[in-house]
Amino acid sequence: MKTRLLLAALASATALTVSLPAFAEDSAQDFVDQAAQGGMFEVNSSKVAEGKAQDPTVKDFAQKMVADHGTANAKLVSIAHEQKLTVPTELDAKHKRDLDSLQNSSDPVDGPYVQMQRDAHSDAVNLFETYAKDGDNVQLKAFALETVPTLKMHQEMIEQIASTMGDKSASTKPATPAVATSDTANPSAPVPGANSFTEAQAKGRIQDAGFSDVSTLTKDDQGIWRGQAKKDGKDTAVALDYQGNVVAGTN
């Protein structure tokens, strides 16, 4: 009886030992997949912005992204190969759609590119910080920890650029005259009128007003961007008018 119990315990321990590498490999592979997708998108979208952006600051940022993420991507590939992990070589559907929208746009790409970079770096910082803390592959954890400060620096840079672009938009665009003359939100907002904000710029301005998870943005026949968002943990309707006023709870 004791012999059978001992053999059963040994069998269970052996099964557990065998299963651990598979779990570790799956988790590490998931990190490599997400990090590689994000890194490829950073480089490819920034190459487009280098050629099509109008703002010199945006061009300079795009150039830095090509250099910094190109270096990080190469390091990720090297570590992944050492760990016998596969590295995706093509963008997934979402990243490809975003890249195609930049490449095929006949309008200035500055605003959409900046918003894409804000979203991408928010995702990247979260991914790398999480894996640096809880990852199961020593080499990849070290890579993630080493890369986080650079990603945060990029995030600060793009947020500053977004803020500056918002100021320029407010003070120079004829479709947003009220923003240029007052920092106080119009009490009768949202105000109907020809809205020059792109969808990406509208999303960024709503986020700057303290909202998150901005989605389903559409411009109605009065020139008002309307969608859904979260603030203080609660879902709410949100609107942005041509003056730049952000209003919650509107339908």
Predicted local distance difference test score (pLDDT) of residue 145:
96
What whole-number distance in Å separates Cα of residue 205 and Cα of residue 153? 21
If asked whether residues 184 and 77 sit together in one domain, one would say no
If asked whether residues 207 and 224 sit together in one domain, one would say yes
Predicted local distance difference test score (pLDDT) of residue 187:
54
If asked whether residues 200 and 140 sit together in one domain, one would say no
Predicted local distance difference test score (pLDDT) of residue 202:
86
Predicted local distance difference test score (pLDDT) of residue 244:
82
Question: Which of 126, 147, 172 finishes a domain?
Answer: 172
Predicted local distance difference test score (pLDDT) of residue 223:
84
Mean pLDDT taken over the chain: 82
Predicted local distance difference test score (pLDDT) of residue 239:
92
**Minimum mean pLDDT range among 1-5, 52-56, 89-93, 100-104:** 1-5
- Domain with residue 16: its CATH number is 1.20.1260.10
Place 251 in a pLDDT band, splitting at 50, 70 and 90.
Answer: low
What whole-number distance in Å separates Cα of residue 28 and Cα of residue 115? 29
Q: What percent of the chain has pLDDT over 90?
A: 52
Question: Which of 129, 146, 172 finishes a domain?
Answer: 172
Question: Which of 154, 172, 190 finishes a domain?
Answer: 172
If asked whether residues 166 and 190 sit together in one domain, one would say no
What whole-number distance in Å separates Cα of residue 33 and Cα of residue 18? 24
Residue 192 has pLDDT above 60, yes or no: yes
Q: What is the pLDDT of residues 64-122, one digit of tens each?
A: 999 999 999 999 999 999 999 999 999 999 899 999 989 998 888 998 999 899 999 99
If asked whether residues 74 and 193 sit together in one domain, one would say no
Q: What is the pLDDT of residues 203-236, one digit of tens each?
A: 888 988 889 989 999 988 888 899 999 988 889 9
Sequence-ordered list of residues with C-beta below 8 angstroms from that of 75, at least 6 positions apart, any chain: 143
Q: What is the pLDDT of residues 17-28, one digit of tens each?
A: 333 333 344 589
Predicted local distance difference test score (pLDDT) of residue 147:
96
Domain range for 22: 2-172
If asked whether residues 147 and 221 sit together in one domain, one would say no
**Minimum mean pLDDT range among 25-39, 176-190, 207-221:** 176-190
Predicted local distance difference test score (pLDDT) of residue 65:
96
If asked whether residues 69 and 128 sit together in one domain, one would say yes
If asked whether residues 106 and 134 sit together in one domain, one would say yes
Q: Residue 229's beta-bridge partner residues? A: 236
Contact 80, 144 (CB under 8 A): no
Range 28-53 average pLDDT: 95
Query: Side chain identity at 122, as an amino acid letter?
Result: S
If asked whether residues 111 and 224 sit together in one domain, one would say no
If asked whether residues 89 and 42 sit together in one domain, one would say yes
If asked whether residues 195 and 168 sit together in one domain, one would say no
Report how many domains make up the chain.
2
If asked whether residues 23 and 73 sit together in one domain, one would say yes
Residue 165 has pLDDT above 80, yes or no: no
